[in-house]
Amino acid sequence: MTLSTTGTRRLAVAAAAALALSLGVTACGSDGDGKSSASGSSAASASGSATAASPKVSGTITVFAAASLKESFTDLGKKFEAANPGAGVKFNFGGSSALATSINSGAPADVFAAASPATMKTVTDAGGASGEPKTFVKNTLTIAVPKGNPKHIASLNDLTAAGVKVALCAKEVPCGAAAQTALKAAGVNLTPVTLEQDVKGALTKVELGEVDASLVYRTDVKSDAAKIDGVNFPEADKAVNDYPIAALAKAPNKDGAAAFVAYIQSPEARQALTAAGFQAP
């Protein structure tokens, strides 16, 4: 069929109009999709941020922690509470081995911070930890003596001198196990007058004048510097204790446990712990 010139022109005009309309719709669709995509991206970003953020922490978080952490953790607990209104941290400080036994016996706790990996292992082996424990600090032994060091103790060997009374932690306790390692490294055979169940007990014996010296952590001497002096000894390098922390599998407050464990590993907490005399892991 042959089209007239007029018909051909009409078809051309119609085609041009259709093309223009198509381009106009595509452009609007592009603008609209662009805006929709940006809006969707913002929504997804906001949604992602909400998902990535930690859930609101509230309620009581019960922390079982080694006695040597008492001063540092008490202060950090207050800072954690200030940053998390509605949350409260309750501490149970003591010998790590006794705390581990309590946890394995079903004591309600959310977090365990031990003074040695061996003690933490008794909890993880029993399935008591949620996830892998993380070492957050290290600690080293020193000889605690009364102010002025009246017995002039300068080494581990001096602890065996006649008339020198010494307190140690029981060997089941991390500070006691570390003391035995240090004494063995120095070739010193020492008979203490008392064996204490945590490091604070050994330190208190010096404070009260019941003994002339005890093997405790450097952090304990630093926190009690008004009453106690510390004598460093080279064999301490053979008995450095790692401190692991873990949220517990049966934690009543799982969100709180996770948040507190994360906080203890934060730069702010680490700065406070190193200022207290602990070493970075």
Average pLDDT over residues 127-150: 97
Checking if the pLDDT of 42 tops 70, the result is: no
Which of 8-12, 103-107, 171-175, 233-237 shows the lowest mean pLDDT across its residues?
A: 8-12
- How many C-beta atoms lie closer than 10 Å to residue 12's C-beta? 10
Checking if the pLDDT of 11 tops 50, the result is: no
Average pLDDT over residues 113-127: 97
Mean pLDDT score across all residues of the chain: 85
Predicted local distance difference test score (pLDDT) of residue 55: 59
- How many C-beta atoms lie closer than 10 Å to residue 259's C-beta? 23
CATH T-level fold of 59-138+242-275: D-Maltodextrin-Binding Protein; domain 2 (3.40.190)
Checking if the pLDDT of 31 tops 90, the result is: no
Predicted local distance difference test score (pLDDT) of residue 56: 83
Helix (H/G/I), strand (E/B), else coil: 229: strand
CATH architecture of residue range(s) 141-238: 3-Layer(aba) Sandwich (3.40)
Instruction: State the DSSP code for 224.
Output: T
Checking if the pLDDT of 262 tops 50, the result is: yes
Q: What is the rounded CA–CA span in Å between residue 232 and residue 190?
A: 17
Checking if the pLDDT of 219 tops 90, the result is: yes
Checking if the pLDDT of 252 tops 50, the result is: yes
Predicted local distance difference test score (pLDDT) of residue 221: 96
Predicted local distance difference test score (pLDDT) of residue 49: 29
pLDDT over 70 percentage in the chain: 80
Q: What is the rounded CA–CA span in Å between residue 196 and residue 146?
A: 18
In sequence order, what DSSP letters do the residues of 113-146 get, joined into one string? E-SSHHHHHHHHTTT-EEEEEEEEEEE-EEEEEE
pLDDT category of residue 10 using cuts at 50, 70 and 90: very low
Predicted local distance difference test score (pLDDT) of residue 46: 31
All CATH 3.40.190.10 domain ranges in the chain, comma separated: 59-138+242-275, 141-238
